[in-house]
Amino acid sequence: MPRGLIYGAVLLAALALIPLALIARARVTTSGVPRIQLIQDMGRQPKFKTQSANPMFADGRAMRPEVPGTVARGELHEDGAYWAGRTPDGWVMAFPVAVTDQLMRRGQERYDIFCAPCHGLAGYGDGPVAKRADALQEGTWTPPSSYHTDLVRQRPVGFIFNTISNGIRNMPAYGPQIPVADRWAIVAYVRALQRSQDARATNVPPELQRQLR
Amino acid sequence: MMRGEQVGSFVFPRWTNVLRPVLAVALVVVPAYVVVLLAYGASPRTTNVGYQPVQPVPYSHALHAGQLGIDCRYCHNTVEVAAHAALPPTQTCMNCHARIRTTSPKLLPVRESYATGLPIPWVRVHDLPDYVYFNHSAHVRRGVGCVECHGRVDTMEVVTQVHRLSMGWCLDCHRHPEPHLRPPDMVTKMDWVPPGDPETYGRQLRQANNINPSTQCWTCHR
């Protein structure tokens, strides 16, 4: 058998191992390159999906922001008490929504998501983000308020709603992040937190008071 | 040897006899090689898993979602009501970073975006083909945890795709969802483990929450 043929066969066998080695490597390492689609099958269509980019516009967004000075259908928020926590007479004092067990549970869940990082699960202003900001000692941070002061306890519900919606002092506005119904649920839960931390034995229903001992 | 025999006739050299068994072996080995190459090379486990693009800001989910314990929905706040789990607007970053790490060079693109109003060019990691219409809210509200598709994002410094996200992979769960279910209020708890046997517990949840995942084409393709 000619030498060349044997060498060729050995070389071919060695080369055939390279793709297998590449596959093995691809399976154990990460890659910054998007996957190669061998069969395209309309996997990438010339359409714009949510939050995708469109170079046609100067800001590169496919989703267009609202035109200033316009109101989208269904977004004319005329009921000031519900949408702003405020009436021409001042802050709303009573909840413009029915305070139910369901609302309270929703409020707790939303509070834990959006408020607890700074204000803490019980509302003392000791959330993990506030603690870390304190530990960094950068001088740009103002600790969040505790809800358990006379000042905050006496705030009207409309005021607290407005604080969530538009922010106050160093707290940013959470209106864009939390839907209105959820903001009222959070206000209800904040009220519950305040009562829970400022309760006396006499606040407990008489039939349950014996269990406290 | 006669002269005539050497002209006009070719005699295969003796070593060519070896080619017959070699060819027989090659007929088996080469197709097997091609099959293995395609099966592993084109498998979603090879092509999809491990995608880890470089992001414009070295945002660490391990710090924010893991160490600080911020709920996934603080930033991805549309996930329960929309098909798309929104990337947060720069405003959400600035909720905290207007006051924390205000001079960090890593956060420069965030501050620039906030000042100019131009979006941060985040790179999408989990990107399905355009003919797939996945709906986040449908899954999250029925108790399929974030971790089921995205892995332990709360331990990732840089987000990496850890699951195949291929059609076969989707169908595995649609045909047998039990081990992937949890109470809907636990969807964002990355380290949640089912009490007791996942199979039994999943069956209870499936019954209680009336979960009947469809395996029809039109469920995901339109």
Number of domains observed in the structure of chain A: 1
Q: What is the CA radius of gyration of chain A?
A: 30
Same domain for B159 and B74: yes
- Asked if residue A59 belongs to a domain, the reply is no
B102/B201 same-domain check: no
B27 and B69 both lie in a single domain = no
> Does A68 map to a domain?
no
**Domain end point (choices B76, B105, B121):** B121
Distance CA B98, CA A28 (A): 39
B104 and B157: one domain? no
What pLDDT is stored for residue A11 in this prediction?
94
Contacts of A21 (CB under 8 A, 6+ apart): none
Kindly state whether residue B39 falls inside one of the protein's structural domains: yes
**Claim to verify: residue B113 and residue B130 sit in the same structural domain:** no
Q: Are residues B198 and B141 part of one domain?
A: yes
In the prediction, which pLDDT does A34 show?
82
**Beta-carbon separation of A23 and B117 below 8 A:** no
User: Considering only residues 120 to 179 of chain A, which have any Cβ-Cβ distance to chain B shorter than 8 Å?
Assistant: 128-129, 132-133, 136, 138, 140-142, 170, 172, 174, 176-178
Residues of chain A numbered 64-93 and touching chain B (CB < 8 Å)? none
B70 plus B172 within the same structural domain = yes
Tell me if A136 and B101 make a contact (CB, 8 A cut-off).
yes
Cβ contact B77–A177 (<8 Å): yes
Identify whether the C-beta of residue B111 lies closer than 8 Å to the C-beta of residue B171. no
pLDDT digits (tens, 9 = 90+) for B57-86: 999 999 999 999 999 999 999 999 999 999
Q: Does A161 fall in a domain? A: yes
B20-60 pLDDT, tens digit per residue, is 998 999 999 999 999 999 999 888 888 889 999 999 999 99
Q: Over the stretch B81-135, which tens digit does the pLDDT of each residue have?
A: 999 999 999 999 999 999 899 989 999 999 999 999 999 999 999 999 999 999 9
Q: Is residue B2 part of a domain?
A: no
Same domain, B154 and B200: yes
ipTM exceeding 0.90, yes/no: no
The number of beta carbons lying within 10 Å of the beta carbon of residue B22 is 13
A28 inside domain: no
Q: How far is CA A204 from CA A151, A207, B53, B164, in A?
A: 24, 8, 56, 54
Of B36, B87, B95, the CB nearest to A51: B87
Owning domain of residue A160: 80-201
Q: How far is B162 from chain A (nearest CA, A)?
A: 10
Among A32, A64, A192, A52, CA closest to A123: A192
Q: Which two tokens stand for residue A39?
A: 């069969």
> For chain B, how many structural domains are there in total?
3
- B15–A32: do the CB atoms touch at under 8 Å? no
- Give residue B103's domain range: 88-121
Which of A35, A45, A47 is facing B47, going by the closest CB pair? A35
Task: Looking at the structure, tell me whether residues B117 and B156 fall in a common domain.
Answer: no
The answer to whether residues B117 and B170 belong to one domain is no
Structure tokens at A42: 């309309």
Is there a contact between A60 and B84 if contact means CB atoms under 8 Å apart? Answer: no
**Which positions of chain A have pLDDT values less than 50?**
none
**B7 belongs to a structural domain:** no
Task: Please return the burial class of B181, using the count of CB atoms within 10 Å of its CB with bins 0-12, 13-18 and 19+.
Answer: buried
Tell me the shortest Cα–Cα distance from A64 to chain B, in angstroms: 12
* B80, B177: one domain: yes
The answer to whether residue B20 sits within a structural domain is yes
| Domain-embedded: residue B4 | no
The answer, for A59 touching chain B at a CB cutoff of 8 Å, is: yes
